[in-house]
Amino acid sequence: MKELNSAANPRVKQWRQLLTASGRRAHGLFLADGEHLCQEALKAGFVEALLVQTDRREQYEALLAMADEPILVSPQVMKALSDSVTPQGCLVVCRIPEPVPLREAGPRLLALNRLQDPGNLGTIWRTLDAAAFDGLLVDPGCADPFSPKAVRASMGAVFRVPVFACEDLSLALDSIPHTLVAGDLHGDPYYSHPPFGDRVCLLVGNEGAGLDEQLLRRAHHRLKLPIPGGAESLNAAVAAGLMIYDVLLNN
């Protein structure tokens, strides 16, 4: 079994670039750490390399058996490649999935406008996966879906729910035949809405500013979730989760 013990190794240096958005775009790769994500990546067939820390070999024997050519790495290499304070000792280098044309997207979608917290993005992605949605649209103002934090929060959704990166989200929404449902603090009461139909795309905006006005104008429904308490708004991932499950259960 191959071993890498130095962070100065050329392959390790290249993989370190995947900790940045520009590096991920340049190489078409991303990192996922932890046993669960390693298992999900290996099952899905996205793995370029499985790395296991030398002193965790026995712990991750089952993972090593799943990979064609696993690599053992020193604790120093693992620390250099993980953004976690305490790395779990296993990590995969994965291929970013090939983009699917938006016209081929399924009937249930969610679009994010300038959502900047990668943890929120990953949590929404995970909820879409749980509710069997068909895709996630992101615009250039969003956090990178393939950043370590977003991937970790997705809990494997990264390998199952496709992402559609839209240079112009307004134009992208114009190109699909879905009912557009916007979360809007100034909208109509959410639970009074009529049926959305078979094809629906939920719109969720920036954590503080909400959705851009041009996107709100395109929406067929602008709806506000009830907030009877003292909070001014809901966390974006919580609001998205409520909307996702409303679609799952009622449309």
Tens digit of each residue's pLDDT (9 = 90 or more) over 87-139 = 999 999 999 998 889 999 999 999 999 999 999 999 999 999 999 999 999 99
Nearest to 30 by CA among 22, 231, 62, 84: 22
| Residue that finishes a domain, picked among 50, 70, 95 | 95
Average pLDDT over residues 196-205: 97
| 14 pLDDT more than 90 | yes
Residues linked to residue 135 through DSSP beta bridges, in sequence order: 109
Same domain, 169 and 224: yes
Domain around 82: 2-95
Claim to verify: residue 165 and residue 215 sit in the same structural domain: yes
Residues 191 and 71 in one domain: no
Pair 157, 69 in one domain: no
| pLDDT greater than 80 at residue 251 | no
Q: Are residues 130 and 243 in the same domain?
A: yes
Q: Are both 124 and 81 inside the same structural domain?
A: no
Position 226 scores a pLDDT of 96
**Which whole number is the average pLDDT over 207-223?**
95
Instruction: State the Cα–Cα distance between residues 183 and 98, nearest whole angstrom.
Output: 30
| 133 in the same domain as 178 | yes
- Same structural domain, 153 and 81: no
Residue 1 scores a pLDDT above 90: no
Question: What are the strands, taking DSSP E only, across 142-199?
Answer: 163-165, 179-189
d(Cα 121, Cα 7) in Å, to the nearest integer? Answer: 30
Residues 37, 130 within the same domain: no
pTM of the model: 0.95
pLDDT above 80 for 145? yes
Give residue 209's pLDDT band: very low, low, confident or very high (50, 70, 90): confident
51 and 106 in a single domain? The answer is no
CATH code of the domain containing 43: 3.30.1330.30
Q: In this prediction, what percent of the chain has a pLDDT beyond 70?
A: 100
Residue that terminates a domain, selected from 37, 65, 95: 95
- What region, left, alpha or beta, does residue 11 occupy, with left being phi > 0 and alpha being psi -120 to 50 degrees? alpha
Residues 10, 74 within the same domain:
yes
Amino acid at 239: A
Q: How many domains does the chain have?
A: 2
Q: Which of 74, 95, 116 is the last residue of a domain?
A: 95
- Together in a domain, 61 and 107: no
Residue 146's contacts (CB-CB under 8 Å, 6 or more residues apart) are 24, 30, 96, 158
Over the stretch 157-192, which tens digit does the pLDDT of each residue have?
Answer: 999 999 999 999 999 999 999 999 999 999 999 999
